Amino acid sequence: MAKIKGAVVVDVERCKGCNLCVVSCPSNVLALSKDANAKGYNYSNMADPDSCVGCAACAYVCPDACITVYKVRV
Amino acid sequence: MAKIKGAVVVDVERCKGCNLCVVSCPSNVLALSKDANAKGYNYSNMADPDSCVGCAACAYVCPDACITVYKVRV
Amino acid sequence: MTTNDIINPANLVYAKTKVMNDVPMHYCPGCSHGVVHKIIAEIIEEMDMQEKTIGIAPVGCAVFAYKYLDIDWQQAAHGRAPALATAVKRLLPDRLVFTYQGDGDLAAIGTAETIHAANRGENIAIIFINNGIYGMTGGQMAPTTLEGMKSSTSPNGRTVPLNGHPLDITKLLAQLKGTCYVTRQSVHTIAAVRKAKKAIQKAFENSMDNKGTSVVEIVSTCNAGWKMTPEAANDWMVENMFPAYPLGDLKDL
Amino acid sequence: MTTNDIINPANLVYAKTKVMNDVPMHYCPGCSHGVVHKIIAEIIEEMDMQEKTIGIAPVGCAVFAYKYLDIDWQQAAHGRAPALATAVKRLLPDRLVFTYQGDGDLAAIGTAETIHAANRGENIAIIFINNGIYGMTGGQMAPTTLEGMKSSTSPNGRTVPLNGHPLDITKLLAQLKGTCYVTRQSVHTIAAVRKAKKAIQKAFENSMDNKGTSVVEIVSTCNAGWKMTPEAANDWMVENMFPAYPLGDLKDL
Amino acid sequence: MKEEIIIAGFGGQGVLSMGKILAYSGLMQGQEVSWMPSYGPEQRGGTANVTVILSDERISSPVLNSYDTAIVLNQPSLERFENKVKPGGTLIFDGNGFHKFPTRTDINIYRIDATEYAYANDAAKTMNMIILGGLLKVRPIVQVENVLKGLKKSLPERHHHLIPMNEKAIQIGMRLIKKVN
Amino acid sequence: MKEEIIIAGFGGQGVLSMGKILAYSGLMQGQEVSWMPSYGPEQRGGTANVTVILSDERISSPVLNSYDTAIVLNQPSLERFENKVKPGGTLIFDGNGFHKFPTRTDINIYRIDATEYAYANDAAKTMNMIILGGLLKVRPIVQVENVLKGLKKSLPERHHHLIPMNEKAIQIGMRLIKKVN
Amino acid sequence: MNDSEKHNMEEVRLMKGNEAVAHAAIRCGCDGYFGYPITPQSEIMETLMEQEPWNTTGMVVLQAESETSSINMVYGAAGCGKKAMTSSSSPGISLMQEGISYLAGAELPCVIVNVMRGGPGLGTIQPSQADYYQTVKGGGHGDYKMITLAPASVQEMADHTVLAFDLAFKYRVTAMVLADGVIGQMMEKVVLPPFKPRWTENEIRQISPWATLGKPATREPNIINSLRLEASDMEELNLRLQGRYREIENNEVLFEEFSVKDAEYVIVAFGTTARVCQKAVEMARAEGIKAGLLRPITLYPFPTVEISNLANKIKGMLTVEMSAGQMVDDVRLAVNGRIPVEFFGRMGGIVPSPDEVLHALKTKIIHR
Amino acid sequence: MNDSEKHNMEEVRLMKGNEAVAHAAIRCGCDGYFGYPITPQSEIMETLMEQEPWNTTGMVVLQAESETSSINMVYGAAGCGKKAMTSSSSPGISLMQEGISYLAGAELPCVIVNVMRGGPGLGTIQPSQADYYQTVKGGGHGDYKMITLAPASVQEMADHTVLAFDLAFKYRVTAMVLADGVIGQMMEKVVLPPFKPRWTENEIRQISPWATLGKPATREPNIINSLRLEASDMEELNLRLQGRYREIENNEVLFEEFSVKDAEYVIVAFGTTARVCQKAVEMARAEGIKAGLLRPITLYPFPTVEISNLANKIKGMLTVEMSAGQMVDDVRLAVNGRIPVEFFGRMGGIVPSPDEVLHALKTKIIHR
Ligand SMILES: Cc1ncc(C[n+]2csc(CCOP(=O)(O)OP(=O)(O)O)c2C)c(N)n1
Ligand SMILES: Cc1ncc(C[n+]2csc(CCOP(=O)(O)OP(=O)(O)O)c2C)c(N)n1
Ligand code: SF4
Ligand code: SF4
Ligand code: SF4
Ligand code: SF4
Ligand code: SF4
Ligand code: SF4
Ligand SMILES: [Mg+2]
Ligand SMILES: [Mg+2]
């Protein structure tokens, strides 16, 4: 069975650190960073990139349209 | 069986000759007069007083509260 | 026994209530408004509530209701009677507060005020005269005007694409949690008048018992606006209005 | 295969639609408005309707919707979006016309406009963001605020005697003859987002097919007004809003 | 030439349409005209009246306080307008239902029992044309031929067959009217 | 004595409440005070600022164009208000997240790294009191004892147990603040 | 002779002012009418419904659920660059004030007809001019102006309807036709304006490039909007509006004079009242009094310069209105103290009589 | 010391103008508040909801579904002789114009607070004074006036709320407290007014015998109404109203002067702007310019006589407003051409600065 691997890119400056992507990710890939962006928000990023399956759950629920999702079969 | 006899008094100046009492009377007692009142309306009156049974149907439906009803058992 | 013998206070069966003033009413001959006024006056007399009642008059043919019923009245801006009634009842909670509104007043411009007062469950009675037309202003289309019905703003009859559907607002009001009693009546026969009177009396009692909002719709005629004789208007109403606005209780908690 | 290898246009699964502008949105972190904006933008792109769409923005937090979706917009007075939409659609019958309204806008001050546009069966789509509060003005009670729910004008929780019942306006709209499609959705999970998107797409198609008025309520959060984190707000919504405003189609003709 | 006329009576007596026909007649003979109804408080069963002005010159005020001619068709209208006829002017009344009659001596007073005639001859629909005929007999301010032209212009085509009937009514009115002072 | 102060930063940094405490302190020492927030367009995530005036005399305009003292807690606020400090006045900034720093030489500039301190010491709740402490160190416009009185007055009774903690924060701020020019 | 030539023929008709508005609207290419019945102007919508222009020109006519809704429908239609209008009478116009302010803020052109009746409150349905302040000074919030035309005849009811649309689109403002019950209800001769076709969408794109007709890839989105986040942006909008108002004041003043040339005393009055005053002037002249009449046709822009110039030549002015005295403020502001300006008015639905006016002229101005 | 004595103690507090309105309303025996949220005045209703006066004084506080509804609730409450109020900001006040006209026609006393923001349209939520015309000239239809108080401090927000009720009941009119966003949002010291109990029904029967409390057999029905069938009856109502307005103009003018005694130039300004101008006057005096400030506290009735008298003594006046120039009309009408009257203003939410005002005084008046 082909394995699916995904990756996401967060638009860091657009992100408001709401954490909704984090809790919606089935694979616990995302986490809020310690650093803040220019607006003072702790933005989301891939804490565990290897677990990403590219399901886009995070992107769908992101209110600020910050997340771009990629996926490959390997 | 006691017979019931009724009578109505129409407030002629208040009456607007709408005819609703006339058509609502089960005994065909009422009719609009040929004469008009001061406002130019052909008012209602008892055309066939003997048939009145004092049921007050006319009075209930009169929009202008013109009709007073009396009734006796004879 | 002659008629004159019968006409004797001792034999009195029915007479105009004192709560109804002696001045002639301005309504067109045969207008339903008069009958409803009379019923309300009778109930107020029978409940002995003259001293405790505040009526809210609409803008519509019944704007002059305050001339005919011998109680305290407020005359509301077009459609806003329920807002006035809300304030009056909240500030005078032991009073009987009712609005008297036409279909233009209640179901067009006053839609928001009606729905929100009813949804808040204000302890008021709403008497709603649905004659399917704007009587006062010369017979324009109302929200409740039936499909195909002519009016001065639908001279060839109401059509849905141009004017939308007739609005059954009473049905909506019955859905609201704030209403305790919603009923539809008419006043074209003695039986109907008697039932309508009972309904309004119940609505008034609900107001005094603080049970919520009561709505009594009276499906009515406007013979002037409909351009018919009063009798023909009654027949037309039975034939056309009743199927669209069927009589009976929609809600009674 | 590294993350950088995967991040390649060829592997793209999901990206912000072009109909959504690049400017940052003013919404609070986690606000449902953003998700709904995004869905609408995606549908407009997918239906290739950018050139044919006119959106009507409300007064409410979404007043700035016109900054975020790259289409023609009109900004309506508080509550009047359905009146604007009525005129726009009647004058441009081949356009996609939708309103985007909050619960204060649609169900309080705009009650009459909403009900009458829907009852006329205007061929528009109404997107209704029900977050149970006036977000924009700082969290006051809305018509849809639940019993017991705190807001800045019900600091100890809404109570029926003081503030009346929560208003389920969508249910009323489903009763009206002019509506063809009335549904209630949410956007807190990917599944919900997908369903909501389908619903809005159907509403838009109905507008283009002139089938009547479509209403898509999105039960939403306002974490700022509710004074919760976005996640907690989602949970609170599931637990408290959904029982009062159950998801699903109320009408689909 | 300028003629300032008030026509007043119950609603339903055709007061407004009589005024309208008069105004159209003026129009037909090239005059300036104005027709101003009392559009009172949607009077249900009240009185109606209309001010009609025919003039060779531009008409200033369409609302007047005194009139060259008053046509009054019920008691309240007589009471209201008798005093507003200019000295030397004309007052025409339909005597039906009157219990008090005009008393001025400085004006010309005419009676026309059009209602009675119409009732007796089943001619309610042309009653206002009868009265108009009476007016034209004593104040020939417009020519009958222009009245008929005006009727043609104001009536929808499907009612044009009624015009001869109306012409007859005018003749009747001219016969019925009587000077009473 | 009159002191015109602007405090500016992100919403959520306690800008408005810092101003409020300052105003209350002025009240406690019998001064006239005014507190005027930018109540901007319900700015979600925008900047917030408040103008506080303490004066021995009646305060005329509560809205100002220049200030004796500016406290700026983020970059945009520095850019907006640096130029509005009166010559010889005071500018205090929290360096956290700044990439451009104040450049004026005709005013006294202080830095207080309260955010950093609060982050390190889990003291986010008293951050604004730390900054206030810093202010009072360099501009002793109100006495600490009046600040505490003001706190007592403005806080609901159930929060009075927090006052000692706030007093400590003031002391910390007095230590943290550093002149940078 | 083809159909449109036939239509364009000058034909004298007799109709009510209200009817003239309806016919003129159809003929000048109005796209949409939205209204709610109220006396004394319901004939406007009734005539439209009878004419069924949707079958001929394609004009939309819709009875709204309220005046609030009507004015916002007008906003929606105007936002699409369409010629939209509504009409009402005093209480209904009061309900439109928020919408009117929005229209001004969003710089939308449209036409409103107010056939005024006696107020305040429900008042009477009789004629009045007591909405002058509301119209000319500002019934809604914020700084804005409406071009205000005051017809004094049925002919002007028709002409001003057309003119109102022209001016509204020239300046992207609301143009109000401010009539009163008399003008709305009276019948007079009228020659209706010629038929103009409604604008096509391409024409709208030319005339009103800001209109929301859907955003092609070739332009930025069009946003109809009066909101500004920053006060400075809002001031900029206000400055633009104020600039436009100065232009209107410079270019669009209309008025009519009657016997003013050699006059020593001038009456200023508009609408029905001006006609009454014209009669009063005739009567005064018959008595040898050198009276004249200045009738502002535009109430905004007001003929300030003309009245100011007049003040240098005459002895006194009388303003006559069916109100407690509203336009008289603008007359006084124009005269600025140089000669006496007095007021005579009737209220609540009463039309002043020529005798009263003449009497007022004598007692308040000539023999003061 | 019992509870009410404690309450009556003068205690200095710090609060927002909006909060002060709420507290003052409760304390002065207000019976009912009806409102709808809008920035920058939502704290009024929020404070009331927090205070829960229904548990103490029995005052009713209700969030209505709209401003239209609010003002009509006020009408209903006022019709019962109750002390009723609402508050809003510019767009919301525009929605109340029909109701305001009805209140005037029915001669009902009540209080409205308008915390003005920048317009027209949705505009900004920043402070403005551009609803002066709407308030003082007439936003609703028909001839009517509202007593208009213009607070310039948080203390006056409290005091004017109380005063507004007193004046409203004295004259059976609406009293408007016309504030702006600055006054509503700023915190200042305030001493709240003492507690007054709400009127009992018997007191209401004494004070407002016209109130609809239910009709006892001993009197005719009370009818709250603005409708008249006959124009002559409507005129009678109007004449009564106008008579009352003349009384108000004679008795109730309030204003404040600052450095006016020896002034050569006087600035006229109200509300927040007056405070800015006071600072400008201080600056002018520091430069040796003999400037002064006249602050109308009542905008209606306007201090016409005082300004007129001043015009005989000084060289010029500058009116400063947060608008395109509205009150300046009333200043000019008072001055009637005797000295130059110029205007300086900022719009759309911008508060003018003292420097700007001083500059305007110099360039527009002193060195013109
Ligand atoms: C704000 C406002 N709009 C319109 C009107 C005009 N108007 C008076 S009564 C009425 C409608 C009356 O119809 P309805 O409520 O059905 O009462 P009816 O006369 O049929 O009993 C209208 C539109 C008004 N007075 N005020
Ligand atoms: C006429 C008017 N009244 C009140 C307001 C103030 N106001 C702005 S938004 C809003 C309510 C917003 O609530 P909602 O519609 O639920 O939208 P949300 O912000 O929650 O998305 C109110 C009352 C206004 N702008 N105009
Ligand atoms: S959902 Fe979007 S905005 Fe929220 S944290 Fe994730 S990426 Fe950032
Ligand atoms: S794409 Fe799916 S797996 Fe990957 S981060 Fe997003 S939610 Fe998690
Ligand atoms: S119902 Fe009444 S008004 Fe009608 S005819 Fe009979 S008595 Fe007269
Ligand atoms: S009382 Fe009955 S029987 Fe007698 S007249 Fe009336 S309806 Fe007829
Ligand atoms: S118009 Fe209609 S509703 Fe009005 S009084 Fe006449 S019949 Fe009755
Ligand atoms: S206040 Fe509420 S609705 Fe508004 S942006 Fe914030 S979370 Fe969203
Ligand atoms: Mg009706
Ligand atoms: Mg909301």
Strand partners, G131: none
Neighbours of chain H (3+ CB pairs under 8 A): C, D, F, G
Give the pLDDT confidence score for residue F27 in this predicted structure. Answer: 94
C103/C219 Cα distance (integer angstroms): 10
- pLDDT above 80: residue G4: no
Determine the average pLDDT of the residues in H20-36.
98
Residue to mutate, C27, C56, C106, C134, ligand 1, most ligand atoms under 8 Å from C-beta: C134
Ligand 4: residue whose CA is nearest its atom 3: A52
Q: What DSSP designation does H200 have?
A: P
The model's pLDDT over E43-88, given as tens digits with 9 standing for 90+, comes to: 455 678 999 999 999 998 898 889 999 999 988 899 999 999 999 9
Q: Under CATH, to which class is G255-366 assigned? A: alpha beta
Among the listed residues G83, G93, G121, G99, the one whose alpha carbon sits nearest the alpha carbon of residue G36: G93
| Tokens, residue G77 | 């239609």
Counting one residue from chain B and one from chain E, the pairs whose CB atoms sit within 8 A come to 9
**E strand or H helix that includes residue G299:** strand G298-300
pLDDT bucket at H6, cuts 50 / 70 / 90: very low
Q: Which residues line ligand 4 (CB under 6 A)?
A: A 6, 8, 25, 27, 29-30, 52-58, 69
Ligand nearest to the CA of B43: 5
The 3-class secondary structure across C157-176, one letter per residue, is: CECHHHHCCCCCHHHHHHHC
Q: What is the pLDDT of residue H1?
A: 36
Is residue G295 within 8 Å of G270, Cβ to Cβ? yes
Place E99 in a pLDDT band, splitting at 50, 70 and 90: confident
Cβ contact D192:D185 at 8 Å: yes
Q: Is the pLDDT of residue H93 over 60?
A: yes
Fold of G3-201: Rossmann fold (3.40.50)
Tokens representing G150? Answer: 């005051």
Amino acid at H80: C
Indicate left, alpha or beta for G315 from its phi (over 0: left) and psi (-120 to 50: alpha). Answer: alpha
Asked if pLDDT for residue G146 goes beyond 70, the answer is yes
Give pLDDT, residue E46: 64
The pLDDT of residue B70 is 97
Crossing angle of helices D111-120/G67-79, nearest 10°? 70
* Distance linking the first and last C-alpha atoms of chain H: 62
Which two three-digit tokens encode residue B31? 């009719």
Asked if residue H4 lies in contact with residue H25, where contact means CB atoms within 8 angstroms, the answer is: no
Distance (angstroms) between ligand 2 centre and the Cα of G301 equals 35
Sheet containing G255-258, strands listed edge to edge, beginning at the edge strand earlier in sequence: G255-258, G291-296, G265-268, G316-321, G341-345
Mean pLDDT of chain G: 96
User: Do D and H touch (≥3 CB pairs < 8 Å)?
Assistant: yes
Does residue C166 have its Cβ closer than 6 Å to ligand 1?
A: no
How many residues make up chain E in this entry?
A: 181
Considering only CA atoms, give the Rg of chain D: 18
Whether residue F125 has pLDDT greater than 90: no
pLDDT at D17 over 60: yes
Q: What is the pLDDT at residue A15?
A: 96
**Mean pLDDT of the region C189-201:** 98
What phi and psi values does residue D187 have, to the nearest 5 degrees? -135, 35
In angstroms, the CA H24 to CA H196 distance is: 10
Show me where the domains of chain H are located.
Answer: 3-201, 255-366
pLDDT at position D121, please?
98
Of all ligands present, the nearest one to the C-alpha of G64 is 1
> How many Å apart are CA H84 and CA H70, to the nearest integer?
10
Is the confidence at residue H5, as pLDDT, over 60? no
G148-191: per-residue pLDDT in tens?
A: 999 999 999 999 999 999 999 999 999 999 999 999 999 999 99
At residue G8, the pLDDT reads: 45
Task: Enumerate the β-bridge partners of residue G266.
Answer: G292, G317
Residue-level pLDDT at E144: 94
Instruction: Tell me: pLDDT of G2 over 60.
Output: no
Q: Worst-scoring range by mean pLDDT, B45-49, G7-11, H221-225?
A: G7-11
Give the model confidence (pLDDT) of G74-104 as tens digits: 999 999 999 999 999 999 999 999 999 999 9
Atom of ligand 8 nearest to the CA of D61: 4
| Length, in residues, of chain B | 74
**G7 band by pLDDT with thresholds 50, 70 and 90:** very low
Helix axes G154-171, G231-251, angle to 10 degrees: 140
Report the residue among D37, D56, D59 best suited for mutation to probe ligand 2: largest number of ligand atoms under 8 A from its CB: D59
Query: Looking at residues E89-112, what average pLDDT do you find?
Result: 93
Ligand 3, atom 2: closest residue by C-alpha? A62
Distance between CA G94 and CA G173 in Å, rounded? 18
Mean pLDDT of chain D, nearest integer = 97
The residues facing E50 across adjacent strands are E7, E37
CA neighbor of H111 nearest in space, from H168, H186, H48: H168
H-type helices in G82-200, by residue range? 90-95, 97-105, 132, 154-171, 181-185
pLDDT of the residue at F10: 81
Cross-sheet strand order for the sheet of H316-321: H255-258, H291-296, H265-268, H316-321, H341-345
Instruction: Return all residues near G90 (Cβ < 8 A) that are at least 6 apart.
Output: G114, G116, G117, G118, G119, G123, G128, G130, G131, H101, H141, H142
Give percent of chain G above pLDDT 90.
96
- Name residues 92-121 of chain E within 8 A of B (Cβ): 97
CA distance, residue H39 to nearest chain D CA (Å)? 6
> Is there a contact between G174 and G138 (Cβ–Cβ < 8 Å)?
no
How many Å apart are CA F18 and CA F131, to the nearest integer?
Answer: 9
Query: Do the Cβ atoms of G87 and G35 come closer than 8 Å?
Result: yes
Question: What is residue H138's predicted lDDT score, i.e. its pLDDT?
Answer: 86
Q: Closest ligand 6 atom, CA of C190?
A: 7
- Contact assessment for residue G222 and residue D72, using Cβ atoms and an 8 Å cutoff: yes
Q: Residues F65-70: what's their mean pLDDT?
A: 94
H293, HSE (Cβ side, Cα atoms, 13 Å) = 26
Give the mean model confidence (pLDDT) for residues E8-33.
Answer: 91
Length of chain G, please? Answer: 368
B30-36 and C125-130: which strand pairing?
unpaired
Equal CATH topology for H3-201 and H255-366: yes
Give distance in angstroms: CA of B58 to centre of ligand 6. 5
* A37 pLDDT higher than 90: no
Q: Pick from D108, D121, D165: which is nearest to C164 by CB?
A: D121
Q: Domains in chain A, start-ordered, CATH in brackets?
A: 4-73 (3.30.70.20)
**Atom nearest to H94 CA in ligand 2:** 1
Query: Which chains border E (3 or more CB–CB pairs < 8 Å)?
Result: B, C, G
| A68: Cβ contacts below 8 Å, ≥ 6 apart | A8, A9, A11, A59, D12, D14, D15, D16
- Residue range E77-106: mean pLDDT, rounded: 93
Q: Report d(CA H99, CA G91) in Å as an integer.
A: 9
To test the contact with chain H by mutation, choose from F20, F25, F36 the residue with the greatest count of H C-beta atoms within 10 A, namely F36
User: What's the length of chain H?
Assistant: 368
Q: How far is G3 from chain H (nearest CA, A)?
A: 44
Helix (H, G, I), strand (E, B), or coil: what is residue B3?
coil
Could you give all domains of chain C from N- to C-terminal order, each with its CATH number?
27-252 (3.40.50.970)
CA distance G323 to G313: 27
SS3 label, residue G203: helix
Nearest ligand 3 atom, CA A19: 5
DSSP code for D97: E
If you measure from the C-alpha of residue B64 to the centroid of ligand 5, how many angstroms do you get, rounded to a whole number? 7
Task: Verify whether ligand 6 is closer than 6 Å to residue B10 (CB atom).
Answer: no
Question: Quick check: D69 contacting A, CB < 8 Å?
Answer: no
Q: How far, in Å, from the CA of C133 to the mean position of ligand 5? A: 23
Looking at residue H148, its pLDDT comes to 98
CATH for E2-179 is: 3.40.920.10
Integer-rounded Cα radius of gyration of chain B: 12
pLDDT tens across H184-238, in order?
999 999 999 999 999 999 999 999 999 999 999 999 999 999 999 889 999 999 9
Interchain pair D134, H37: CB under 8 A: yes
Amino acid at position D204, single letter: F
For residue C186, which of C175, C167, C176, C200 has the smallest C-alpha distance? C200
Contact list, C229 vs chain B (CB under 8 Å) = 19
Indicate whether C218 pLDDT > 50: yes
H368 pLDDT above the threshold of 90: no
Angle (nearest 5°) at CA H326 between H324 and H330: 150
Distance CA(H319)–CA(H328), nearest Å, equals: 6
- CA angle D173/D178/D179 to nearest 5° reads 50
Q: pLDDT category, D137, cuts 50, 70, 90?
A: very high
Decide if the complex's ipTM is over 0.95: yes
Check: CB of residue C134 under 8 Å from CB of residue C145: no
Domain boundaries, chain E: 2-179
* The pairing of beta strand H12-16 with beta strand H32-35: unpaired
Residues H157 and H147: their CA atoms lie apart, in Å, by 15
Q: How far apart are CA F43 and CA D77, in angstroms?
A: 20
Q: Whose CA is nearest to atom 6 of ligand 4?
A: A58
Confidence band of G128 (pLDDT split at 50, 70, 90): very high
HSE value, Cβ hemisphere, 13 Å, CA-based, for H123: 38
Tell me the shortest Cα–Cα distance from F44 to chain D, in angstroms.
Answer: 5
Residues 6+ apart with CB under 8 A from F58: F32
Q: Report cis status (omega within 30 of 0) of the bond before H40.
A: yes
E strands within chain F? Answer: 2-10, 32-37, 47-55, 67-72, 85-93, 108-111, 178-179
| Element housing E71 (H / E) | strand E67-72
Which are the contacts of G91, defined by CB distance < 8 A and separation ≥ 6? C77, C78, G38, G119, G121, G122, G123, H98, H101, H102, H141
Contact D54 G226 (CB under 8 A): no
List chains adjacent to chain F, taking adjacency as at least 3 C-beta pairs closer than 8 Å.
A, D, H
Distance CA G278, CA G256 (A): 11
Residues of D with a Cβ under 8 Å from any C Cβ are: 108-112, 115-116, 119-121, 143, 160, 163-165, 167, 171-172, 175-178
